[in-house]
């Protein structure tokens, strides 16, 4: 038998075991809202049958447009909104009116309410400034993580930033006044080397302390009980590497990684191979820990491959119980770099027809299909 056949058998067994333990699975927040606990259990069960498709900043702008009510490049091509909406709250800690991508926080709240109101999922990342230097999230000054831990020189500053996060999260309520569940992904791509919390500038114990303090502050001191916490790696080679900074089952709900394709030619097969290799490890770890597995970021910039959706992305993820996969934002033309920057097609884009085929896959859920799953009820 071929290795891929054994892999499929193993994956199937993992799915069956996951179903057997479904009743015992609970989110990490034991005081989580009913909608949060429902969402966790539904995503656990659904990932054995479906993968939800997501898009970053989907409602705020697209290629050639901004701030048009009801607009979405994904919807314009596929006839449906994405099932998962990604947002980022970088600059919130600085009390700025708009985020790192110039999306107004007030509009972001509106978009989140609209997406969740239609039955969509919400995930939020945080490109927070460097609290030690005042630089961006990409300022990798050593000692930053240590400075925000209890007893550190910037600990009180960091607490004030978390206060801003708590205020924002607490304001995310539906039309009935109930808190909207959020998949919160702080300190993303932690196995990389480009953010101040990455592995090249802090030791595992420091990162773990940072994560645990953050969760306990939001959960226990600020009483925020509608967040599922997403642990997110960049590329990794082994399960041990993925878990080297894992903060504990009691403060994590989703296990994920980010992986992009860079270029065509040999890069296509490299991306498929790496996505499958890492997804196999991720799903095995998630099954053992009874957590949700996901691809938090992926994509091919400007989508020059007209069959990327069914010829690359789907072959890369189809054999694995992945709850969701999110592609990055559709900024459009970037003047400084003199290039187009987008990860979902728009009408007329070369991969648009293939994207429609991808959207018709019964195992891929966009918003209408996800709504039928009643993930919050």
Q: Are 114 and 108 in contact (CB under 8 A)?
A: no
Q: What is the pLDDT of residues 279-313, one digit of tens each?
A: 999 999 999 999 999 999 999 999 999 999 999 99
pLDDT score recorded for residue 23:
45
Query: pLDDT category, 197, cuts 50, 70, 90?
Result: very high
Q: How far is CA 92 from CA 228, 305, 327, 351, in A?
A: 20, 36, 23, 35
Listed residue (143, 121, 323, 141) closest to 226, CA to CA: 121
Is it the case that residue 8 has pLDDT exceeding 70? no
Query: pLDDT category, 108, cuts 50, 70, 90?
Result: very high
Is it the case that residue 5 has pLDDT exceeding 90? no
Strand duo 227-233 + 182-185: pairing: parallel
Q: Rounded mean pLDDT of 89-108?
A: 98
Is it the case that residue 268 has pLDDT exceeding 80? yes
Phi (first) and psi of residue 139, to 5 degrees: -80, 105
Is it the case that residue 1 has pLDDT exceeding 90? no
pLDDT score recorded for residue 248:
98
Residues 6+ apart with CB under 8 A from 88: 56, 57, 99, 100, 101, 124, 125, 126, 127
- CB-side neighbour CA atoms (13 Å) of 266: 0
Q: What is the pLDDT of residues 147-192, one digit of tens each?
A: 999 999 999 999 999 999 999 999 999 999 999 999 999 999 999 9
Q: Judge residue 76's burial from the number of C-beta atoms within 10 Å of its C-beta, 0-12 exposed, 13-18 middle, 19 or more buried.
A: middle
**CATH level 2 (architecture), domain 3-371:** Alpha-Beta Barrel (3.20)
What percentage of the chain exceeds 70 in pLDDT?
Answer: 94
Is it the case that residue 22 has pLDDT exceeding 60? no
**What secondary structure letter does DSSP report for 271?**
H
Q: How far is CA 332 from CA 55, 155, 261, 278, in A?
A: 14, 38, 18, 30
The most distant pair of C-alpha atoms in the chain lies apart, rounded to whole Å, by: 59
The neighbour count for residue 189, using CB atoms within 10 Å, is: 20
Is it the case that residue 75 has pLDDT exceeding 70? yes
Phi (first) and psi of residue 14, to 5 degrees: -60, -40
Query: pLDDT category, 18, cuts 50, 70, 90?
Result: very low
264 token code pair:
């065509």
């Amino acid at each position: 038998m071929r290795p891929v056949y054994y892999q499929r058998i193993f994956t199937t067994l993992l799915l069956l075991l996951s179903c057997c333990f479904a009743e015992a699975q609970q989110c990490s927040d034991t005081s989580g809202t009913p909608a949060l606990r429902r969402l966790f259990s539904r995503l656990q069960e659904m990932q054995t049958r479906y993968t939800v498709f997501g898009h970053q900043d989907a409602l705020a702008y697209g290629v050639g447009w901004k701030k048009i009510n009801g607009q979405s490049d994904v919807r314009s091509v596929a006839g449906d909104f994405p099932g998962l909406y990604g947002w980022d709250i970088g600059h919130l800690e600085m009390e700025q009116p708009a985020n790192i991508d110039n999306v107004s926080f007030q509009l972001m709240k509106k978009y989140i309410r609209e997406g969740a109101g239609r039955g969509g999922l919400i995930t939020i990342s945080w490109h927070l400034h460097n609290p030690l230097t005042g630089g961006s999230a990409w300022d990798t000054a050593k000692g930053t993580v240590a400075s925000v831990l209890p007893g550190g020189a910037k600990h009180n500053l960091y607490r004030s930033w978390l206060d801003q996060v708590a205020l924002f999260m607490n304001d995310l309520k539906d039309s009935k006044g109930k808190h909207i569940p959020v998949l919160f992904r702080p300190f993303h791509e932690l196995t990389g080397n480009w953010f101040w919390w990455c592995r090249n500038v802090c030791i595992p114990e420091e990162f773990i302390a940072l994560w645990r303090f953050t969760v306990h502050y939001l959960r226990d001191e600020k009483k925020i009980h509608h967040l599922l916490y997403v642990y997110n790696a960049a590329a990794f080679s082994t399960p041990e590497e993925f878990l080297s900074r894992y903060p504990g089952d009691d403060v994590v709900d989703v296990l994920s990684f980010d992986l992009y394709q860079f270029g065509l030619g040999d890069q296509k097969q490299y991306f498929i191979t790496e996505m499958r290799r890492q997804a196999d490890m991720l799903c095995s770890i998630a099954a053992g820990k009874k957590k949700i597995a996901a691809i938090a970021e992926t994509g091919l910039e400007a989508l020059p491959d007209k069959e990327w959706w069914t010829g690359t992305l789907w072959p890369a993820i189809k054999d694995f119980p992945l709850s969701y996969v999110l592609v990055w934002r559709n900024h459009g033309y970037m003047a400084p770099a003199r290039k187009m920057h987008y990860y979902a097609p728009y009408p007329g884009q070369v991969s648009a027809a293939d994207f429609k085929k991808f959207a018709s896959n019964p195992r891929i859920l966009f918003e209408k299909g996800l709504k039928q799953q009643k993930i919050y009820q």
